[in-house]
């Protein structure tokens, strides 16, 4: 528990949690019927323009976040050395 509440743990955890919270909010609002009247483009038009599947996007985001965690870990390791 100490590791997660330390500055190092928060430096790793907070950006990832904020990203997924924002992503979830965006996806929820994008699928809600309440927000359809505020769309600039119809959802069918958006779907035809998406060339990358959600699975590929999630996979690439997780890979990028893994690199991010590794970089923060290396910076913290050199900071304490």
Question: 33-45: per-residue pLDDT in tens?
Answer: 777 777 777 777 7
User: Residue 32 — left, alpha, or beta (φ > 0 → left; ψ -120 to 50 → alpha)?
Assistant: beta
pLDDT digits (tens, 9 = 90+) for 2-31: 655 787 788 889 999 999 999 999 888 888
- For the whole prediction, is pTM greater than 0.95? no
Locate the domains of the chain by residue range.
2-80
pLDDT at 4: 58
Which of 28 and 62 is assigned the larger pLDDT? 62
Q: Which of 22, 21, 14 is nearest to 68 (CA)?
A: 14
């Amino acid at each position: 528990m100490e590791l997660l509440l330390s500055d190092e743990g928060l430096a790793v955890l907070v950006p990832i949690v904020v990203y997924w919270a924002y992503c979830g909010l965006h996806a929820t609002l994008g699928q809600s019927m309440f927000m359809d009247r505020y769309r600039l483009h119809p959802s069918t038009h958006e779907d035809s323009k998406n060339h990358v599947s959600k699975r590929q996007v999630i996979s690439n985001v997780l890979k990028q976040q893994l690199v991010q965690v590794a970089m923060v870990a290396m910076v913290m390791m050199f900071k304490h050395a």
